[in-house]
A = this chain, B = another copy of it.
Amino acid sequence: MAPPTQPLSINQGTLREQYDFRGFVEACARSGITAISPWRDKVAACGLQEAARLIKDHNLRVSGYCRGGLFPATTAAERQAIVDDNKRMIDEAAVLGCECIVLIGGALPVDSSGKRSRDLRGAHKMIEDGLAAILPHARAAKVPLAMEPLHPMYAGDRACVNTLAHALDLCDALGAGLGVAVDVYHVWWDPDIEAQIARAGSRILGFHVCDWLTPTRDMLLDRGMMGDGVIDIPYFRRLVEKAGYKDCIEAEIFSAENWWKKPGDEVIRTCIERYRTVC
């Protein structure tokens, strides 16, 4: 398969231990990277206006802004606070010029006594309600929302929208302004993925890559560099291209014991090489 023509974007999570926001932007820019995906905590530490200035000065695309959603909570007041916070995130994304906001569903909620809910379908409903509550704000701000289904192993304590089919059902229910992000790490196992990516079509707002290592030593922080695992990444690129996707290919690698411990320039250089050769 020919190398990708879509730009490589570096997700800030890939270098979260190496850099603050300024360092991240400068490292990407000096490596010839033309697109990034910032994390909200890093932007906050930098200051929103300063972050926007850095992005503009380095002429960077912003392929996504990580990460919103996380709607389920035990009380109505908590859920309203989460909705309000997501609206603030939309405003920030507009200032930064983000092409979309990446949302994840959120966990089964934990009540004030520390007990976690078992009501998965109730949590699904809270996610749909939360999305419905922020969508008008997102539409007005012209910031598309990308629901990212997360791997089913995160359903309990992180995010309980776990298939592209479910994310697309939410899009169908809620309409314009909501799309999906497809991360190969989360969907590679899905026997229905070809049909679902075709179904997604123009609603694909982001395409994320990394790799699934065997064995995986940590459920959250042991993602592999593209090419080091078992995911047939070109297969997924073909599928999203066939669906009409033309935007960035975003490298998002949480790797506490490997890539987070290496010099940032080396990580970026490796991402670029693997983007060219195995994506």
**Interface, chain A (partner B; CB < 8 A):** 107-108, 116-120, 124, 151-153, 155-157, 160, 162-163, 165-166, 169, 188-192, 212, 214-216, 219, 229-232
Contact = CB atoms under 8 A, between A and B. Distances in A.
A229 B117 CA distance: 9
A123 to B, nearest CB: 10
Contacts of A160: 189
Contact of A152 (B119, B153, B169): B153
Nearest to A234: B118
Nearest to A191: B166
Copies of chain A in the complex:
2
A219 B153 contact: yes
Contacts of A191: 124, 162-163, 165-166, 169
Contact of A189 (B120, B169, B230): B120
Given A117-B230, A216-B219, A230-B118, A152 B151 contact: yes
> Which 6 residue pairs are nearest across A and B when measured between Cβ atoms?
A155-B189, A157-B214, A152-B189, A153-B153, A118-B232, A156-B214
A155 B120 contact: no
A192 B165 contact: yes
Contacts of A230: 108, 116-118, 120, 156
A155 B188 contact: yes
Given A156-B212, A156-B230, A166-B191, 9 more contacts: A116-B230, A119-B232, A152-B189, A152-B190, A155-B189, A156-B189, A162-B190, A163-B192, A165-B192
Contacts of A155: 188-189, 212
A152 to B, nearest CB: 4
A10 to B, nearest CB: 24
13 contacts: A118-B232, A120-B230, A151-B152, A152-B152, A152-B153, A153-B153, A155-B212, A156-B216, A156-B229, A156-B230, A157-B214, A163-B190, A219-B219
A231 B121 CA distance: 12
Given A191-B162, A219-B216, A120 B232 contact: yes
Nearest to A124: B191
Nearest to A227: B118
A184 to B, nearest CB: 11
Contacts of A216: 153, 156, 219
A177 B117 CA distance: 38
Contacts of A231: 118
Nearest to A155: B189
A192 B196 CA distance: 14
A251 B40 CA distance: 43
Contacts of A166: 191
